[in-house]
Amino acid sequence: MRRSLLMRLAWRQSLLRLVLFYAAAVAIGLLLHRLLEVLLVATTLVAVRSYWRLYRVSRFLDWRQQLHAVHGQGLWAALETLVYRRQTDNRARSRRLVRLLRAYRQAAATMPDGAIVVSRSENRLIWFNKSARRLLGLNYPHSLGTSLLATLPGPRIEQWLRSGNTDDPLMDVASPVDENLRLSLRLLRYSPEEWLVVVRDVTQLMRLEQVRRDFVANVSHELRTPLTVVHGYLDMMEPEDSPEWAPMVGEMRKQSQRMTQLVEDLLTLSRLESQQSLTEETVTMEPLLITLRREAEALSQGRHRIVIEDEARCDLFGADKELHSAFSNLVSNAIRYTPNEGSVTVRFSRTPDGGARLAVQDSGYGIPAQHLPRITERFYRVSTSRSRESGGTGLGLSIVKHVLSLHQGRLEVDSEVGRGSTFACVFGPERVRPRQS
């Protein structure tokens, strides 16, 4: 009896424990469920908020958006403030740049010189100012995108644009608006893909230059006749009849010859200056080199060793008389500025780019380096006395320079005092012709 009571009690206790345990488990489960729900809601809220801040930052990064100052604390606010500050700085900087660009454009637009931005690849007009419209007859916006060569046609402009020469302006270009309007064009590096062409009205300058040229040509021409008469009479004088006159007559003949040469050189120079192109043909170099040798030998009178090296085996395309005049000026200088027993070598060779080069090398006095940039100027002499003594007019190298420029060639000078000089006429491949023999 007692035993069954005990058992019943134990059983009831266990049942109670079980109920309590289940109740506790249910309560904990419910609690956990609620907690999870709260956690889920909280996480969703945090995610939505983060997404919203991220969206704001991305809107800030899009720089077309109107910006607002950021208030608040935390990582997102710090990030937004940073982006806001960057964007504000960038906007201020770009506003400054736009203002600067406008000022530059304004300055370029009001400049009296024409300014044109041209693409380097196809010479197409990208931008031009008011003066360019006036000077070249350009039309906005129709001329945009057209080639500069359509406005200024001709091989001279084409060659100049192709050369990319930013050092020397192209002078005396006729305006397409009016033939009498003379322009100078200057090429400037604007960007890796574009040139800036500056167009200047040089009509007045060209007119003055023409007056100067005409004056020199007229004076030279007027001097020619009296000089021929003086020269003629001097030649007729026989100093043998009165030997005391012999030195004076000799000196007078020498001076009148110098003057004749000076007048001839001045006339040649003004003729070259007034021409934009020459009558051109194939110049056969073999007979020309033989003539140069003959001239050198006549001038040297056996005092120098003269060598002609014809390595190019090609001819030149150009003006025969003018090229001959340029080459013989260089040969004459080499003989005149080389002491007795020296050597003069004329070498005609090809250049690596397919062009040709006629070099006159001497073992003469040489030219100090500081004089080299100026020796092609009219009447510029390194030593006036030596030039006069040797019968120089001071115009030889100016003639050479002009002849070469009319052939799109260049003069290269290499000289060392006491060792000699090399004057080389360099021609582009377009001037080379195969030899006809």
**182 or 402: CB nearest ligand ADP:** 402
In this structure, which long-range contacts are made by residues 228-233, counting pairs with CB atoms below 8 Å and at least 24 apart in sequence? Answer: 228/260, 230/256, 231/256, 231/257, 231/260
- Establish whether the linkage from the previous residue to 141 is cis, with ω within 30° of 0: yes
Residue 427 CB, shortest distance to ligand ADP, in Å, is 20
- Residue window 83-102: x/- pattern of binding to ligand ADP, with contact defined by CB under 6 A: --------------------
**Binding to ligand ADP by residue 258, rule CB under 6 A?**
no
Q: How far apart are CA 399 and CA 266, in angstroms?
A: 9
**Binding to ligand ADP by residue 362, rule CB under 6 A?**
yes
* 374-433 residues near ligand ADP, rule: CB under 6 A: 375, 380-383, 387, 392-398, 421
**233 or 379: CB nearest ligand ADP:** 379
**355 or 364: CB nearest ligand ADP:** 364
**Binding to ligand ADP by residue 365, rule CB under 6 A?**
yes
**283 or 335: CB nearest ligand ADP:** 335
Residue 405 CB, shortest distance to ligand ADP, in Å, is 15
Q: How far apart are CA 403 and CA 277, in angstroms?
A: 10
249, 239 contact by CB (below 8 A): yes
Residue 217 CB, shortest distance to ligand ADP, in Å, is 19
**173 or 296: CB nearest ligand ADP:** 296
What token pair was written down for 268?
A: 């040649």
- Helices and strands counted in the chain (H then E): 11, 13
**175 or 393: CB nearest ligand ADP:** 393
Specify the DSSP element, H or E, that contains 434.
Answer: strand 432-434
DSSP, residue by residue, 3-70 = HHHHHHHHHHHHHHHHHHHHHHHHHHHHHHHHHHHHHHHHHHHHHHHHHHHHHHHHHHHSTTSPP---
Residue 329 CB, shortest distance to ligand ADP, in Å, is 6
**318 or 364: CB nearest ligand ADP:** 364
CA proximity to 371, closest of 404, 410, 416: 416
Q: How far apart are CA 393 and CA 4, in angstroms?
A: 154
**For ligand ADP, how many residues bind (rule: CB under 6 A)?**
21
- Residue window 312-351: x/- pattern of binding to ligand ADP, with contact defined by CB under 6 A: ---------------------xx--x--------------
Q: How far apart are CA 190 and CA 188, in angstroms?
A: 6
The contact set with ligand ADP (CB under 6 A) reads 333-334, 337, 362, 364-365, 367, 375, 380-383, 387, 392-398, 421
